[in-house]
Amino acid sequence: GAVVSQHPSWVICKSGTSVKIECRSLDFQATTMFWYRQFPKQSLMLMATSNEGSKATYEQGVEKDKFLINHASLTLSTLTVTSAHPEDSSFYICRAIRADTQYFGPGTRLTVL
Amino acid sequence: GENVEQHPSTLSVQEGDSAVIKCTYSDSASNYFPWYKQELGKRPQLIIDIRSNVGEKKDQRIAVTLNKTAKHFSLHITETQPEDSAVYFCAASRSGGGADGLTFGKGTHLIIQP
């Protein structure tokens, strides 16, 4: 079946650095990819919607200059957390869809020291 | 925008008993309602979904009911087993498959007592 991968699965970085997270749909072309953030013991919060070749649409309260999204192809979307701070530490999950097919990535655990 | 409320936040049941988790939504235009199971540190797994033209859907021990008039939907798990222990999330969307993004409930931690 279709699989969505994320890389890295976990990352630890120093405050002030930038971190790039990749989301790939391995055997289908995703028309849309979504990025979610999940804090411990909380629900998934939609951060942004990404369509191939166009600018991402950000949810209210999500800083587009801090969370850079690039959707370069139908199989790859990247989320870059710029100038990361400890409060950005979270579980970041992508979700890829095409028609009625949808799959979550395995998530990336970001820890900012 | 859509607002999804989920109850209870924690549910403990004896193995073999049934578990029911309830959600309400606010946007009458929502027409797709999936349920996800998430184990600690892992991705959410779609376990069942229902569209607004259907009132009930069943898949083995899992069933979902939808009341569009009251804007609520419920997950029913029968004959619960230890491996059912996880966090369950309901969600709502205006488009089938969640093509416009999903609004999630806060989750229910289901504990199956042996």
Cβ distance B43 to A46 less than 8 Å, yes or no, reads no
Residues of A in contact with B45 (CB under 8 A): 104
DSSP classification of residue B28: T
A8 lies within 8 A of chain B by CB: no
* Residue B57 half-sphere exposure toward CB, CA atoms < 13 A: 16
Question: In the predicted model, is pLDDT for residue A100 greater than 80?
Answer: no
Degrees to nearest 5, angle at CA A80 with A75 and A83: 175
How many angstroms separate the CA atoms of A62 and A43, rounded?
16
B102 neighbourhood in chain A, CB within 8 Å = 34, 44, 46, 95
Per the CB < 8 Å rule, is A43 touching B107? yes
pLDDT higher than threshold 90 for residue A89: yes
What percent of chain A is predicted at pLDDT more than 70?
98
What 3 state SS string does chain A have? CCCEEEECCEEEECCCCCEEEEEEECCCCCCEEEEEEECCCCCEEEEEEEECCCCCEECCCCCCCCEEEEEEECCEEEEEECCCCHHHCEEEEEEEEECCEEEECCCEEEEEC
Q: What pLDDT does B98 receive?
A: 67
Give the other-Cβ count within 10 Å of A16's Cβ. 10
Please indicate whether, in this complex, the C-beta atoms of A43 and B101 are within 8 angstroms of each other: no
Residue from A90, A70, A93, A89 nearest A80 by CA: A70
Tell me the chain A residues in contact with residue B40 when contact means C-beta distances shorter than 8 Å. none
- Choose among B25, B38, B18: nearest CA to B86: B38
CB contact under 8 A, A102 and B101: no
Banded pLDDT at A8 (limits 50, 70, 90): very high
B101–A42: do the CB atoms touch at under 8 Å?
Answer: no
Asked, as a colleague might, if the bond just before A40 is cis with ω within 30 of 0, I would say no
Partner B contacted by A35 (CB < 8 A): no
pLDDT for res A96:
92
Instruction: List B72's β-bridge partners, or say none.
Output: B24, B67
- Tell me the CA distances in angstroms from A112 to A4, A21, A37, A45, A91, one per residue in order: 25, 14, 15, 19, 12
Q: What is the mean pLDDT of residues A84-96?
A: 96
Considering just the CA atoms, what is the radius of gyration of chain A in Å?
13
User: In this predicted model, what pLDDT tens digit does every residue of B54-112 receive, in sequence order?
Assistant: 899 999 999 999 999 999 999 999 999 999 999 999 999 988 666 778 999 999 999 99
pLDDT the model gives residue B52: 86
Tens digits of residue pLDDT in A47-79 = 999 988 888 999 999 999 999 999 888 899 999
Mean pLDDT over B26-37 rounds to 94
- Whether A28 shows a pLDDT value over 90: the answer reads no
Q: State percent of chain A over pLDDT 90.
A: 73
Residue B21 pLDDT level (bands cut at 50, 70, 90): very high
- Taking an 8 Å cut-off on Cβ atoms, the answer to whether B44 and A34 are in contact is no
Residue A46 and residue B103: Cβ atoms within 8 Å? yes
Q: State the pLDDT confidence band at A98, using cuts at 50, 70 and 90.
A: confident
B74 touches chain A (CB under 8 A): no
Nearest to B43 among A93, A100, A101 (CB): A93
State residue B16's pLDDT score: 97
Q: State the pLDDT confidence band at B3, using cuts at 50, 70 and 90.
A: very high
Encoded tokens for A67 = 């969370």
